[in-house]
A and B are shown apart, each in its own frame.
Chain A
Amino acid sequence: MDNITENPFIISTENLTFAYNGQPVLNHLNLQVPGRSIFGFLGPNGAGKSTTIKALLGLLKVKPGMIHIFNKELNSHRLDILQRTGATIEVPSLYDHLSARKNVEITRRLRGIPAPMVDEVIETVGLTADSDRYVGQFSTGMKQRLSLALALLHKPDLLILDEPINGLDPEGIREMRNLLLRINQEQGCTIFLSSHILDEVEKICSHVAIIHLGKIIYQGETSGLKRKNGSGGVLTLTTSDNPKCLQIMSETHITSLLPGAVSVSYQSQEDIASIIRNLVDAGIGIYAAKPEDHRLEESFFELLKQGSEA
């Protein structure tokens, strides 16, 4: 844990480049993941998210000096780094013909961890009742949780998760979110996760990076990314006369007519007050007004658009 406090970046890549059959997938990637953060790694399909994760775990051979984790060069300290790292990669990698307990047991032996940890980690992911069932009988969500158990077995300092909430039901997503937050807060574990589900990233990630066509087009705090798209949002109004409301507001704001409501874009809190005052002055009754700040999703797509144009 000493390195976590000494070095602000747990993971740092320097001009990370990788090509499959001469086709570049990662293009001079400079990634910096702060210690103790929950770092969301976003990008469309084929952007290079999984390739980056595989490179970070040493599954792909990259040139020496390109990746540093825990302030150590990956190629020369791969085993030391992996000793402190837990990971899940793409689909859950599990032996279908063995029980959940046997799957954990195999990883436990390979990591050289005491046997009591098996029950503890199975309990952590809520699979105690199913621990003796064959994994082939598990649902995708249960496999996802077991896969996480393998990654958490040794209480890692760094957790690298590739699409950890894929296949989970809403309850499972909420449990996973709470579990990751708890691990981050209680164990000080840095979590690097890739995901397509932007809402979830927004809820749990302190930092995000967006990768597009093998290049990082944004990295920093999640709140910073949302600010890039302006500080305003969209006000959804339910009024006594929606068509008239639309007519008045369209002169000064970007508006659209929704089923039973009108959406009006705003720039600031003062703007919301001004919109409501104008409508009341025009004799329109306001039944409901629901402001919603710009979301990560909008910033994400805006950045992707800019990235493609560039």
Chain B
Amino acid sequence: MKKKISLFQTVVITELIKLRRTVAFWLTILYPAGAVLLASLFLFSMRGHSNMSPVKAINNINDVTAFFLPFYVVLTISFLCQTEHRNTMFKHLISLPVPRSAYFFGKLAASFILMAVSWFLIIALTYASMIILHLTNRNLMLFPGFDNGYLFTAITRTFLAGTAMVVIQYLISLRLRNVVAPITIGTTLAILPIAVLFILGVTGLISNPDVLRWLPLYNPYTYPYSHVFSIMRGPSYELDLFPLPSLIYFLIAIGLSVAGAYEFKNRNFK
């Protein structure tokens, strides 16, 4: 068991070495920086309004983070897997004395490590942004009274909501060699439900939007940002870190990971 854990650690370390000079690495920096910057510019534009509060500021940052999370996940994981497909690296890796499952879970772990890094950067950059905004304009009323726990819970909840999406995108990217295919599938899954809702709303086909509330909720790619739009559940101060849908998606992610590892173990590398 100790040997297996050590081997798994080695695979994860090699995955991190491979990240140098990759799109996945740069996206992990650009996504948090971009999301926080976008939200901060909006907050800065609200300096003349009196109804700004730390909770509203955090909600704004969390909403922007949540909306872009599926696109970040789709691109990052697709390009992460593409490093192996591009030069038929799996043939070389499988011919080494390392169990196939170690590669499967090692790369999946690397995907979650990237998520964790972007989560950390979002929290760190949010603090940096809040301090800068506070120093720039004290009318924003960001300090004192900034709720650290709320920031942590809101951002963490958003990322935990994406576990099933990460695993599904990983399985698709690991299976399809051409990087365009997993990106197209992932992006479509992330956009289509919300696009359908918008189109139906604009054309007036839905008189009561509540009837379609389930649509983004039951899609793992839109679930992380399902709280953002008014058609869905609005942001609330009382946040659960792990609401029931997240827990269900988490269990689905575990199930899919086990099934994916089994498929990878028995796959023919032609």
Contact = CB atoms under 8 A, between A and B. Distances in A.
Given A54-B91, A93-B91, A106-B14, A60 B21 contact: no
A43 B219 CA distance: 51
Interface residues of B, number: 27
A95 B270 contact: no
Interface stretch (B92-100, B180-188, B227-235): B92-100
A280 interface: no
**Residue from A57, A85, A93 having most chain B Cβ neighbours under 10 A:** A93
A60 B100 CA distance: 13
Interface in B69-119: 83, 86-89, 91-99
A59 interface: yes
B5 to A, nearest CB: 14
Contact of A57 (B10, B22, B94): B94
A111 interface: yes
Nearest to B22: A97
Nearest to A106: B14
B269 interface: yes
A10 interface: no
A234 to B, nearest CB: 42
A80 B96 CA distance: 10
Contacts of B98: 79, 110
A145 to B, nearest CB: 15
B96 A111 contact: yes
Nearest to A107: B96
Interface residues of A, number: 32
Given A20-B270, A98-B20, A112-B10, A59 B94 contact: yes
B95 A57 contact: yes
Interface in A56-88: 57-61, 79-80, 82-83, 85, 87
Nearest to A153: B96
B95 A58 contact: yes
A91 interface: yes
Given A82-B95, A106-B14, A93 B89 contact: yes
Contact of A59 (B10, B14, B21, B95): B95
Contacts of B22: 97
A272 to B, nearest CB: 49
A95 B97 contact: no
A97 B238 CA distance: 46
Nearest to B86: A96
Contacts of A85: 95
Interface string B235-270: 000000000000000000000000000000010111
Nearest to A79: B97
B66 interface: no
B97 A93 contact: no
Given A105-B17, A106-B14, A96 B87 contact: yes
Given A79-B99, A83-B97, A93 B92 contact: yes
A9 to B, nearest CB: 21
Contacts of B179: none
A95 B80 CA distance: 12
A92 B94 CA distance: 14
B269 A110 contact: no
A61 B97 CA distance: 16
A89 B95 contact: yes
Interface of B: 10-11, 13-14, 17-18, 20-22, 83, 86-89, 91-99, 266, 268-270
Interface of A: 20, 54, 57-61, 79-80, 82-83, 85, 87, 89-98, 102, 105-107, 109-112, 150
12 contacts: A57-B95, A59-B268, A60-B269, A80-B97, A87-B95, A95-B89, A96-B86, A97-B20, A97-B22, A102-B20, A105-B17, A110-B14
8 nearest A-B residue pairs (beta carbon)? A93-B92, A82-B97, A59-B269, A83-B97, A57-B95, A79-B97, A89-B91, A87-B95
Given A82-B95, A83-B97, 10 more contacts: A54-B269, A82-B96, A85-B95, A89-B88, A91-B88, A94-B92, A95-B87, A105-B17, A106-B18, A109-B10
